Amino acid sequence: MKEPLTIEEAQHLADKWIHEIGGGYFSELTNMVLLTEETGELARIIARVYGEQKGKEGDMRKSLAEELADVMWVLICLANQTGVDLTDAFIASLKKKYTRDRYRFLGKDSLTQDS
């Protein structure tokens, strides 16, 4: 059984690769564009596998897992270069969801109502 990888470890491993092999970080703007590009590639797979769109030749060369990991990689790079600790940020987001959104999704109609 493999050891789980923490978010902190993932941030460290990405930073290590960027500095040892990758030649440094792209600019924040470039990484934002890359995040958008990778999100589009993820969206293509989701649309073809779970949506109504039919794939064409070459659409499915990459897997869902690969595209999710690509999005995660660029997101981690953006966090690293802007000094964001994703563990702390995720915990803060989770706390917000447990407080502000605690009752937001109770009941069948809550997903369609504006909050």
Each residue's pLDDT tens digit, 78-110: 999 999 999 999 999 999 988 888 777 787 555
d(CA 25, CA 42): 22
Domain boundaries, the chain: 7-101
32-79 pLDDT tens trace: 999 999 999 999 999 998 988 777 766 667 789 999 999 999 999 999
- The CATH number corresponding to 7-101 among 2.60.40.420, 1.10.10.10, 3.30.470.20, 1.10.287.1080 equals 1.10.287.1080
CA distance 39 to 63: 13
Under 8 Å between Cβ of 81 and 30: no
Burial class, 25, CB count within 10 angstroms (exposed 0-12 / middle 13-18 / buried 19+) = middle
| pLDDT at 93 (0 to 100) | 95
pTM of the model: 0.82
Please enumerate in sequence order all residues whose Cβ is within 8 A of that of 41, keeping only pairs 6 or more positions apart, or say none. 62, 67, 70
